[in-house]
Amino acid sequence: MRPQAKAPVLAPGATVGVLGGGQLGRMLALDGVRLGYRFVALDPAADAPCAAVADLICADYGDEEGLAELAARADIITYEFENVDAAAVERLERAAPVPQGSRLLRLAQHRLREKEALQAAGIPVAPFAAVASADEVRRALQAFGGAGVLKTATGGYDGKGQRTLRQEGEAEAAFAELSALAPELVLEAFVPFEHELSVIAARSPRGEIAVFPAAENIHREHILHLSIVPARIPAGVQAEAGQLARRIAEALDVVGLIAVEMFLTADGQLLVNELAPRPHNSGHYTMDACRTSQFEQHLRAICNLPLGPAELVSPVVMANLLGEDAADMVQWFRADDPAAGRLGVTPKLHWYGKSEAKPKRKMGHVNIVAPNTEAALAWMRESNMWRNTRR
């Protein structure tokens, strides 16, 4: 894709509008304020995490008056997550610069279109098929060797809107359940992976690209639990994963960040699973372990500034803190931590300021900067902050 040669540079002092006021918007604003930018966010919750660090327009994402106010107050607009109304982003594009654009958002919101775009760009993906009936699910399962993952084409997040099928007899119930949630479904072949990986790439309007190191991700109940960096994979696979992310950023004309989630199979093959065109949970490790954080990099990209260096400066493990971890986190934060000194690690807490701790709700994360990832994992075991954790 061609660079946008005439895209203006937005210097510090300008106001960045954020569609969404959650933790990603909050961390974006924290990095941006440090650089001298001002922030205004639109979110339906008056106590949204971003409200503590930015002006807040309290309105639904599709509210015409709220969107108009956001466009009037911002010099540039970005979105913090992809589950916002693409039509609302289209309306914003007519009133203010939205460098990420609505086209990529629409693509990332629809699993089938996303897979087709990746396939057209020559990016390896698992076999997939659109399915409109239980019979079509059964036929696709046969073609995929008997196992697959049935997903809604739209609306899935943190494991929602999908069911793993291991035999044809499960097709009827799964189709009935998921077709009640969304009008379009896609069946993907089940991939028996060795590792789940993600790579975050940034691209500016001028065509400059920077790629962060691959993270090895471990999920619990479909929610990201750990990101381990460097990933425990061969150097050649690391390089290949980075090249895939770079190719995707170029092929899709990305401006800002693109998070590329991948599977590494037992035979060493990388298959791209899904995309997220914004800062990503698995990129939080960059805040304390890279020369540039993913949030600063996103701002640099959308403002058409030179991108920062993306190199890792220390091994790190990022661990999410959910609602059920909150009490243990408070106890750890108040106490001495002799294990950190003994193991040579530095745990860095990032708390999102949410008003209520709920089970499975992301409340914060800890970046455990360490001489090696094994020391970081050992500290996790001793901290007792993540009970029943399997690593």
* CA–CA separation, 81 and 157 (whole Å): 11
- Residue 41 · residue 18 · CB < 8 Å: yes
Q: Is 352 annotated as a binding residue?
A: no
Q: Is 160 annotated as a binding residue?
A: yes
Q: Is 115 annotated as a binding residue?
A: no
Q: Is 158 annotated as a binding residue?
A: yes
- 230 cis-preceded (ω within 30 degrees of 0): yes
The token pair that represents 115 in the structure block: 């897979």
Q: Is 193 annotated as a binding residue?
A: no
Q: Is 367 annotated as a binding residue?
A: no
373 vs 4, 67, 84, 230, CA distance in Å?
40, 44, 36, 8
- Residue 125 · residue 118 · CB < 8 Å: yes
Q: Is 328 annotated as a binding residue?
A: no
Q: Is 274 annotated as a binding residue?
A: yes
Q: Is 208 annotated as a binding residue?
A: no
Q: Is 336 annotated as a binding residue?
A: no
DSSP type of residue 178: H
Number of other CB atoms surrounding residue 371 within 10 Å:
12
Q: Is 268 annotated as a binding residue?
A: no
Q: In terms of Cα–Cα distance, which of 390, 375, 320 is closest to 352? A: 320
* CA–CA separation, 334 and 342 (whole Å): 18
Tell me the DSSP string of 133-162. SHHHHHHHHHHTTS-EEEEESS---TTTTE
Q: Is 362 annotated as a binding residue?
A: no
Q: Is 296 annotated as a binding residue?
A: no
Q: Is 32 annotated as a binding residue?
A: no
Q: Is 156 annotated as a binding residue?
A: yes
List residues forming the annotated binding site for ATP.
111, 151, 156-162, 188-191, 196, 219, 273-274
List residues forming the annotated binding site.
111, 151, 156-162, 188-191, 196, 219, 273-274
